[in-house]
Each structure stands twice: as C-alpha cells, then as structure tokens.
C-alpha cells in the first residue's frame, strides 16, 4: 500500500503526531510518499528510521492508494488540487482549528490508519465548482471544493455584479462581493456571511452576497446543474477572484461562468462520524451555554 502525505507545515509541538503517523506506517508496512516541501521542513526535526519517497506535482501521484492531509481545512483544500480527477481518497487529520473537513484528531491516528488498511471506512463523494473564463486564471486548476468568490480589492468601493442563471438575468448585486458555494463550502465563508448550511448530498449551489447594499438581498440556493455567469462593474480596474484559498486579480472585461465540475472528490470518513455529528461537535449545537 502506498499513501501520500501532504502538509503545508506543522508547528514544532505537532511533530510528535507526525512521528506517530510514520510509526503506524512502519507497523503496517505502508510506503509513505511525502510532499517534498513538507519533507524538507521536518526531516532534521524527528528521528527518521526509514527512507521515504517524495512528490512535487500531481503527476507524481500515480499508483497512490490514499492521500493524507495534515493540517486544517485549508491544507485539505490544497490537497484536492493535487488529486484532481484521479479519484484518490483523501483523509484529513486535523492540526488546525475548527476542522469541518479535516476531522480526524491526533488521538484517532491509530484507528484511522487501521481503517485504511482494513478498508473499514466510508467514502463521501463531494461535488466541486468549476470556473470558465475568457482569460487564463488559476494556472489551469479551475476547480474548488468549497467556493468561488468575486470580491472587491482592498479598500476600493463596492462593485456591481450582474448575475445570470442559465443565461437569464437573475440580479445585480451591489456588494463587496459574491460567493458561490458548494454544499461542502456552505459551512465556510458562505456561512460567515449568513448563508444556509446545506447537506453535502443536496446537489445545489448557494449564492451568498458579501455585505450587500440592498437590504432585501438574501442568500439563494439553486440546483447544481445550473450555469451561473457574471459581469462585473466597478470604479477600479480589477477585482479579486478566488477558488477556495487561491486568488487571482481579474479585469472588468473578463467574463466568468460557474458550473458543477465533471468529477468529484472522495473524502474518507470513519464509520462512526457523519455530517450531523460534525455540525453538533463543531458548532456546539444542542449544548446549553447558559450555565
């Protein structure tokens, strides 16, 4: 079995958890393939008993059974860009904060690796959002797991976002920005802008304005077989586009359209976890905070 490990980097106090993970690999005779930049950060900090292969690019992930993301949700979103349409299942081990996607904690590393070896896990297929544009953006990696956003730059005035649904005019948003979130991304940036929580298998997009000037504008849930297109006006030359944690500056002349990606991403879930439990645990639903 070959498992890739991806991380942006860990704090010094978190390296013990990495050593536990590598010891589990050794115990089960698993071949580890580690992201090169991450390997360069830690190889002098822990006692390495084995030789490990490394990877730098998505093309290096052939014949990989799983990929493990070490970090928070942002790290897992980065891992998705390496996996692409390869359908390699991703397991997120949380070294971040909230951890909606990377939900496995350090104390569960042993049981998580055991589940991978014995194949006693669940696969959640999560839809992606795809961006089409008439100018090159995001180095050709034009998909995201959480959301696509249009946003004004820095302290520039609000922008006007003319929005169309399957070619029919929907609305003009006078706002700081606009979010198109997948069901997975509904618990991210969209939620912080008062968007609804949407179940992962609900086959929908959530269109959520960021600080809209029109007080009667509210988030909107639309089917994910829709094509959502945009034209942007503003007093400045450009605006920000983001796909998850990646961002680009686009000019007002660009034409943008959002649709569902043709492939999905496979997230590994241990059998005892589900979306409702995640909501209760991460958002403290059902807890009495009065005492």
* pLDDT at position 156 over 70: yes
Q: Is residue 291 part of a domain?
A: no
Check pLDDT > 80 for residue 50: no
When comparing pLDDT for 103 and 273, which is higher?
103
The tally of domains found in the chain comes to 2
Q: What pLDDT, on a 0 to 100 scale, did the predictor assign at position 291?
A: 61
Alpha helices in the chain (DSSP H): 15-27, 36-42, 73-83, 109-118, 189-192, 275-283
224 a catalytic residue: no
User: In terms of domains, do 254 and 135 share one?
Assistant: yes
Domain span at 274: 2-127+264-283
Same domain, 23 and 101: yes
Give a yes or no: residue 240 inside a domain.
yes
Lowest mean pLDDT among 4-8, 96-100, 282-286: 96-100
User: Whole-model pTM?
Assistant: 0.91
Tell me, what's the pLDDT at 223? 97
Residue 287 clears pLDDT 70, i.e. is over it: yes
Write out pLDDT tens, residues 196-250. Answer: 999 999 999 999 999 999 889 999 999 999 999 999 998 888 899 999 989 999 9
117/160 same-domain check? no
* 170 and 234 together in one domain: yes
Q: Are residues 108 and 152 in the same domain?
A: no
Is residue 55 in a domain? yes
In terms of domains, do 208 and 218 share one? yes
As a whole number, mean pLDDT of residues 29-34 equals: 93
Q: Looking at the domain assignment, is residue 149 inside a domain? A: yes
102 and 195 together in one domain? no
For the chain, the average pLDDT equals: 90
Out of 37, 59, 73, 224, the active site residue is 73
Residue 290 lies in a domain: no
Which pLDDT tens digit goes with each residue over 1-27?
999 999 988 787 778 888 889 999 999
Higher pLDDT, 153 or 162: 162
* Inside any domain, residue 20: yes
Confidence of residue 98 (pLDDT cuts 50, 70, 90): low
CATH number assigned to the domain comprising residue 236: 2.60.200.30
Shared-domain flag, residues 7 and 121: yes
In a shared domain, residues 90 and 172: no
């Amino acid at each position: 079995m070959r498992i890739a490990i991806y991380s942006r980097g860990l704090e010094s106090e978190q390296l013990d958890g990495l050593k536990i993970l590598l010891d589990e690999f050794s115990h089960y005779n698993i071949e580890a393939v580690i992201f090169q930049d991450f390997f360069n950060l830690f190889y002098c900090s822990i006692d390495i008993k084995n030789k490990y292969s490394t990877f730098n690019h998505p093309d290096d992930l052939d014949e990989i059974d799983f990929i493990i993301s070490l970090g928070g949700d942002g790290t897992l979103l980065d891992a998705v860009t390496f996996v692409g349409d390869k359908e390699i299942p991703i397991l997120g081990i949380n070294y971040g904060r909230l951890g909606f996607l990377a939900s496995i904690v350090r104390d569960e590393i042993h049981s998580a690796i055991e589940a991978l070896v014995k194949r006693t896990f669940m696969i959640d297929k999560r839809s992606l959002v795809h961006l089409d544009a008439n100018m090159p953006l995001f180095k050709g990696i034009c998909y995201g797991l959480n959301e696509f956003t249009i946003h004004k730059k820095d302290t520039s005035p609000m922008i006007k976002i003319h929005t169309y649904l399957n070619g029919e005019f929907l609305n003009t948003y006078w706002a700081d920005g606009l979010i198109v979130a997948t069901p997975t991304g509904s618990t991210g940036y969209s939620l912080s802008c008062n968007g609804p929580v949407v179940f992962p298998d609900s086959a929908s997009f959530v269109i959520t304005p960021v600080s809209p000037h029109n007080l009667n504008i509210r988030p909107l849930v639309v089917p994910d077989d829709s094509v959502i297109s945009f034209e942007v006006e503003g007093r400045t030359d450009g605006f920000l586009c983001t796909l998850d944690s990646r961002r680009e500056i686009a000019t007002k002349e660009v034409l943008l359209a959002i649709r569902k990606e043709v492939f999905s991403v496979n997230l590994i879930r241990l059998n005892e976890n589900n979306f409702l439990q995640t909501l209760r645990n991460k958002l403290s639903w059902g807890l009495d905070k009065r005492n």
